[in-house]
Structure 1
Amino acid sequence: MAKPNLLRLQDHDQITKELSFNIYDICYAVSEDQRRRYIEYIDEQYDADRLTRILSDVAEIIGANILNIARQDYDPQGASVALLMSERMLGRSSTATHVDKSHITVHTYPETHPHTGLASFRADIDVATCGVISPLKALNYLIERFESDIVVCDYRVRGFTRDIKGRKHFLDHRINSIQEFLSRSIRQKYECFDVNVYQENLFHTKMHIKNFQLDDYLFEAKADDLSFKERERIKALLSHEIQELFQGRNIA
């Protein structure tokens, strides 16, 4: 007997929910050697093996079974991982539903500026699910795991499902903003801005770090070893870089 608060469907839930990130981490490496070592450090910290562990955790958080994993490290830098998933069915020893409709992917892009000493690490992440599992459950975990300075996040609901009366449903849960699913600690840490298109079931949130300590952004250096003038110059560079990446355009 169906629970009274659940919508009875003609078949399984065929709505696709996709959560997409551009996540940026910013750093300052003064010399060419330091910038090279920064890229090496990022490639070691976020190689295909570690990315696989992170995405496997995501699958566990949202309640999905992993069907297949493809991963690759690249030369000179970067890595990619893709997980094919299925919905976990309670009370069964195995699953065979949504075999080719749910996935998680991540691609990394370490990068350095040739002159200023600025360096950045970008990760593009997509979590797409069908059925009752929701990618929004992994939202906070992914933001915290990549220690992000900037997060550009999209949540899109596609397709429809049909109830037993034949009526189409284009959204299977309530949502007004991605921010509703952020933890309190993340909301306190970031400035968040929404650009939502409700009639298209498209939700867009941009976030940037509110405050930063210079030591957290210096690679192989300490702020106390720099002059006041040099510290202020680097802070201005970092702030400008964060604003450009956040706004997605060059700022004079």
Structure 2
Amino acid sequence: MDKLRLHGFNNLTKSLSFNIYDICYARTGEQKKAYVAYLDEVFNAERLTQILTEVTDMIGANVLNIARQDYEPEGASVTILIAEETAYDGPLPESVVGHLDKSHITVHTYPEFHPDHGISTFRADIDVSTCGLISPLKALNLLINSFESDVVALDYRVRGFTRDVEGAKHFIDHQIHSIQDYIADDIKNRYQMVDVNVPAERIFHTKMRLLDFDIDDYLFGDSPNDLSTEEADGIRERIEHEVNEIFYGRNIVVDGDG
């Protein structure tokens, strides 16, 4: 796509949303508490701020304001308002605050666990919304690699329109067939990916889940050597069941369930 010569400000809003899931098996109550404490330490508000600041640098934006909060008993949230690096000398929007609300990065974390089966799940919801020339797609690989991502759901949408110097409307200013177009090959090699796209509406959705499964990566407080073959198989089935339900977005009944 040729570079557009625009009349005034680029009014397209580009929004990228992540749901990132990390699955863990914590057998005892103490292990569950230790897992949540670990997540609160590793992904506290300060660490999340560092990640989002890296994202801001990567997409070529400037930080205007940071609001962050750790929660009791667990979880954290960070919001960063951003602006384009290049100064804009055209007519200002009616509300500066309204303009800034279109350019922001947020993250919220949600640790939780199954009360009986030992499965613990950590979810991070991340939204990168920009207007103008900066694009959130540049941050894809950094964000996927910044978290322990077993399942990832990605949504990308371009809203609104902008005008060229001839007055014609443009509803998108870049080529995209799939979010996968912007994901690095080394990441694509590690994940199974499924697309649900509506290009005519500029809506793109990609779901991802890890291809390789090593039970040692999912145990918190236990070692595979401490488990019998039967125990290890049972844990593996529970983890795979959890991953499948999250990936397909529905409850899956297996033999022996109620």
TM-score (norm 2): 0.92
**Contact in 2 for aligned 1:86/1:100 (Cα 8 Å):** no
* Shift, 1:249, TM fit: 1.0
Which moved further from structure 2: 96-105 or 133-142? 96-105
Q: How many residues align?
A: 245
Structure 2 distance, partners of 1:81, 1:150, is: 22
Match of 2:67 among 66, 70, 80: 70
Deviation sequence 1:30-49 (CA, Å, 0-9, x none): 00110011111111111100
Tell me, in whole angstroms, the C-alpha distance in 1 between the residues paired with 2:120 and 2:88: 49
After TM superposition, the runs of 4+ consecutive aligned structure 1 residues lying more than 6 A away are none
Q: Structure 2 unaligned runs (5+)? A: 254-258
* Deviates further, 217-226 or 121-130: 217-226
Gaps of 5+ in 1: none
- In the alignment, the residues of structure 2 paired with residue 250 and residue 91 of structure 1 have an alpha-carbon distance, to the nearest angstrom, of 49
Number of the residue aligned with 1:144 = 145
2-structure distance, mates of 1:248, 1:57:
30
Q: Which residue of 2 aligns with 1:164?
A: 165
Aligned to 2:232: 231
Corresponding residue of 2:256: none
Q: How does 1:20-39 map to 2 (within 5 A)?
A: 20-39=17-36
SS of 2:7's partner is: coil
C-alpha distance after superposition, 1:95-131 (max 9, x if no partner): x985442000000000011000000100000000111
Retained in 2: the 8 A contact 1:149–1:209?
yes
Secondary structure (helix, strand or coil) at the match of 2:197 reads: coil
- Give the secondary-structure state (helix, strand or coil) at the position aligned to 1:116: coil
* Deviations 1:125-184, CA, capped at 9 Å, x for gaps: 000011111100000110010120000000000000001111000000000000111111
User: Comparing 38-47 with 96-105, which one deviates more in the overlay?
Assistant: 96-105
Cα deviation, residue 221, structure 1: 1.2
* Percentage of matched positions with identical amino acids: 57
CA distance in 1, matches of 2:102, 2:249: 31
Offset at 1:12? Answer: 1.7
Q: Residue type matched to 1:68 in 2?
A: N
Instruction: Give the alignment partner of residue 49 of structure 2, picking from 36, 47, 52.
Output: 52
RMSD after superposition: 1.6
User: In the alignment, which residue of structure 2 is the partner of 1:84?
Assistant: 81
Q: For 2:163 and 2:171, locate their aligned partners in 1 and report how far apart those are by CA, in whole Å.
A: 9
User: Aligned partners of 2:88, 2:177: CA distance in 1, in Å?
Assistant: 33
Counterpart position of 2:102: 101
Match of 2:182 in 1: 181
- Deviation track 1:49-81 (CA, whole Å, cap 9, x = no partner) reads 000000000000000000000001111111000
**Amino acid across the alignment from 2:170:** H
Contact 1:48 1:73 in 2 (8 A): yes
1:246 aligns with 2:247: yes
The whole-number CA distance in structure 1 between the counterparts of 2:222 and 2:58 is 37
2:223 corresponds in structure 1 to 222
Would the aligned equivalents of 2:4 and 2:173 in 1 still touch at CA under 8 Å? no
C-alpha displacement of 1:220: 1.3
Question: What residue is the counterpart of 2:210 in the other structure?
Answer: 209
Alignment-mate amino acid for residue 221 of structure 1? D
Tell me how far 1:90 sits from its aligned partner: 7.1
Distance (whole Å) between structure 1 residues aligned to residue 229 and residue 87 of structure 2: 60
Query: Matches of residues 126-141 of structure 1 in structure 2 within 5 Å?
Result: 126-141=127-142
TM-score by length of 1: 0.94
Residue of structure 2 equivalent to 1:200: 201
